[in-house]
Amino acid sequence: MNIRRRPFDHPDAVKLNDEVQAEYAERYGDTGDASVLSPEDFRPPHGVYLIAYDAAERPVATGGWRSQDESDRPDGGYADGDAELKRMFVVRDQRGHGLARRILAALEDDARAAGRTRMVLETGIAQPEAIALYLSSGYEPCEKFGYYRHYESSRCYAKPL
């Protein structure tokens, strides 16, 4: 696998984002993730967006992080120095090969290099494999934050960088 930095509005990112939104709708029975994201959120040094490509140059996995600080969103539950993990996704036929773990490690390294001190993420109970990945990677439950913080099905995790 070849992991590359790409803008969040790159055609491959848009394609995979559409797939992840369809999966969210399938799992949660709604129209997908309502969190507001923009390409600027993932521009270095305030974030990054990664896409993994297979040997045939097909985009097969994504993930990104964006800076979040309490001062920027005082009502959102973030702390200064946070890097928020977003859009972790692996296409179905590539799951179980460690791609998500590789992207997660690359995102953590990048956020740490950018001076972020904690990685945070929000996921839901309909994504047990994501929860298992984060727990096995050293993430621990934390105070809820972000758009879905008031939803019972939401789960938030954090890991010091």
**Residue 35 pLDDT class (50, 70, 90 cuts):** confident
- For residue range 99-149, what is the model confidence (pLDDT) as tens digits? 999 999 999 999 999 999 999 999 999 999 999 999 999 999 999 988 888
Residue 82 or residue 29, greater confidence: 82
Give the neighbor-by-neighbor strand order of the sheet with 82-90. 2-5, 47-53, 59-68, 82-90, 118-124, 154-160, 140-141
| Closest listed residue to residue 82, CA positions, set 38, 39, 104, 112 | 112
- Taken in order of first residue, the domains within the chain and their CATH numbers are 2-160 (3.40.630.30)
> Residue 79 above 80 pLDDT?
yes
Q: How many other CB atoms are there within 10 angstroms of residue 60's CB atom?
A: 22
51 beta partners? 4, 62
Look at residue 42 in the predicted model and tell me its pLDDT. Answer: 97
Look at residue 32 in the predicted model and tell me its pLDDT. Answer: 64
> Residue 73 above 80 pLDDT?
no
**Model confidence, pTM:** 0.93
